[in-house]
Structure 1
């Protein structure tokens, strides 16, 4: 008769999820793949019925009854967690020397992959489990490729949306983004202020030094406006040299005066482009959401534009608040700083 070690080696090749038990039901050898289900718990030397619970047939509770089931199919579960379900086939050895229990077709392929990371290398080359594993692996690869593609598509969509709402010259939000946020703010209950800012004497920079200088001035102005506002506020370029700032949750006129004053002071500071001095200033019109009983986006934009017009008419380089009853209110120059002359640059 074949030696036990030789039999175990042969079974390991043909059905690597085998269990070899003696006549007392003690495990004398176990297939390498089956042992992977409990890598820290050697099965050899333990009782088969101590490791495995028979689900069907339920009447089998002894080793003798188990060994009598020649050719019978068993439904089993491991007794400890995870309680993987298995199916087995009993093949008694000659001379009542025990039995071979083949579990090769018994494990769920999903359990094999999820709980034990088994691969095709863990099964016999003729085992149907290999075909199922190939399908599972192919499905996993396809799902991973699909997830990767979806992530790339989502990233591309986000990038496209961001680009659609961004002014490419300054990096600020554009008119479309401003319209979306302003519509949302106008329909909500949270108070906010809207500043309409226009660069004074900007056309003179373009005419004297060219559009490259004008672009540089716009970029510097955008940087200043972002530095003087909070991250939750929106700064948008809505025209050539026109900007809108939406300041969320703030309607305190004293604070708004301070913000507008800092913007005007910093924007009137000369900038240097290719050794040439560029001088502009800024006029600001301010409207508050609380000035309207029924707020519409177009109304507050119009109000801020009217206040901006009054600031320009009053001498530029200043700010003005919209007043629903008395027209716009422009603070005196003593509160803002007097408009600065622009030597060598004509006004607009």
Structure 2
């Protein structure tokens, strides 16, 4: 017959989380992994019920009751922190000499491995816990890689979308972005103003000083338009020296006239490029969505064009609001 010491050595090999308790409930032997969970508490010699709280079965509150539960599944926790949840199986010894209780982590194994820095050496060679942990870690790594890839793809898509709606020279919105915004505003029946701005004498800058100077003038003009408009206004470059500004929710004629005058004043100021002076001015035409019963994007653009042409006929470097008079003179 196997003595207690032989049994303990066998259990340490096969069940590193076993407890051998006597008939009074005192711990006589404890598996090495179980002792690792409480390195500062000598499990051997302690009372089982002083170390562990039995959660289920609820009817088991004493050692005799535990001894009578041969093969019963136990759910228990440590009394102290961390209160790691454990599962167990009790096997009473012959002649009432106590019992062997084999414990495992169950679904709390992930927390246990983290809390106690456990390795494969802390588990039985036949325990699938580590293999399951490897699978969980592999799945987590794969999910993280997938999440990272998705974020990069989303970022690339946003960057591509932004690029598709941006004028590369000035950083303003392009015609595609303007069409998108106009479509949204007209579909939602929103009130807005559309301002069409054209740089006067821009061709002479290009012809006299070259395209680099022309690009510089366009960039400076774009900067001025952004500075003189609100953050949620849409400023778009729609042609070589043509720009459209969409003012969402702004239809007050006096305010729009004031913005146009500031733009004209600033764009009339000379610009210096490589010690050469560049002179341009701005002609502006504006149309309001409220001037039409059911405004369409093309209709608004045409109306702003008519007002712009009126500004050019009136001597350039001025602002005109679309009216029936502009329409009659087309």
**Superposition TM-score, scaled by structure 1 size:** 0.80
Q: Is the 8 A contact 1:306 1:322 kept in 2?
A: yes
- Give the Cα separation in 2 of the matches to 1:117 and 1:131: 16
1:164-184 superposed Cα distances (whole Å, 9 cap, x missing partner) = 111110001111111111111
User: Which residue does 1:313 correspond to in 2?
Assistant: 313
1:263 deviates by 0.4
Measured against aligned partners, the alpha-carbon deviations of 1:187-223 in whole angstroms (never above 9, x if no partner) come to 2243211100010011111111111111111000000
1:117 aligns with 2:114: yes
- Which residue is equivalent to 2:138? 138
Distance 1:253 1:33 in 2: 81
Cα pair 2:113 2:119 within 8 Å, conserved: no
Match of 2:73 in 1: 74
The answer on whether the counterparts of 1:196 and 1:286 sit within 8 Å (CA) in structure 2 is yes
Where do 1:157-176 residues align within 5 Å? 157-176=157-176
Is the contact between residue 84 and residue 107 of structure 1 (CA under 8 Å) also seen in structure 2?
no
Give the C-alpha shift of residue 77 in structure 1: 4.7
Q: Is this contact kept in 2: 1:195–1:284, CA < 8 A?
A: yes
Question: Structure 2 CA distance, aligned partners of 1:186 and 1:39?
Answer: 73
- 1:47 alignment counterpart: 49
Instruction: Tell me the alpha carbon deviations over residues 256-285 of structure 1, each in whole angstroms, 9 at most, x when there is no partner.
Output: 111000000111111111111111111101
* Equivalent pair of 2:192/2:250 in contact (CA under 8 Å): yes
Provide closer, same or farther for how the CA distance between residues 308 and 74 of structure 1 changes in structure 2, counting only shifts above 3 A: same
Whole-Å Cα distance in 2 between the matches of residues 285 and 40 of structure 1? 84
Partners of 2:155 and 2:29 in 1: how far apart?
A: 54
Aligned to 1:107: 106
Length, aligned pairs only: 320
1:251 corresponds to: 251
Provide Cα deviations, 1:285-343, integer angstroms capped at 9, x if missing partner: 101111111111111111111101111111111111001x33279xxxxxxxxxxxxxx
Given that 1:27 and 1:48 are in contact with CA atoms closer than 8 Å, whether structure 2 keeps it comes out as: no
Deviation at 1:254, TM superposition (A): 1.0
Report the CA distance shift for 1:283/1:146 in structure 2 as closer, same or farther (over 3 A). same
Structure-2-length-normalised TM-score? 0.84
Larger CA deviation: 23-32 vs 164-173? 23-32
Q: Is the 8 A contact 1:77 1:83 kept in 2?
A: no
Query: Any conservation in 2 of the 1:187–1:295 contact (CA below 8 Å)?
Result: no
Query: 184-193 or 301-310, which moves further after superposition?
Result: 184-193
* Whole-Å separation in 2 of the counterparts to 1:297 and 1:271: 34
How far has the Cα of 1:94 moved from its partner? 6.2
Q: Which residue of 2 aligns with 1:205?
A: 205
Contact 2:236 2:244 in 1 (8 A): yes
TM-superposed deviation, 1:74: 1.0
- Partner residue, 2:177: 177
**CA deviation digits over 1:232-259, x for unaligned, max 9?**
1110111111100011111111111110
Cα 1:308/1:146, change in 2 over 3 Å: same
- Once the 2 structures are TM-superposed, how far is the Cα of residue 97 of structure 1 from its aligned partner? 3.9
Mapping for residues 314-329 of structure 1, pairs under 5 Å: 314-323=314-323, 325-327=324-326
Q: Residues 267, 39 of structure 1: CA spacing in aligned structure 2 closer, same or farther, 3 A cutoff?
A: farther
CA RMSD of aligned residues (A): 3.3
Q: Give the whole-Å Cα distance in 2 for the aligned partners of 1:224 and 1:39.
A: 71
| Distance verdict in 2 for CA 1:177–1:39, change over 3 Å | farther
* Structure 1 gap ranges (5+): 330-348
Q: Is the 8 A contact 1:75 1:85 kept in 2?
A: no
Closer, same or farther: CA 279–125 of 1 in aligned 2, 3 Å: farther
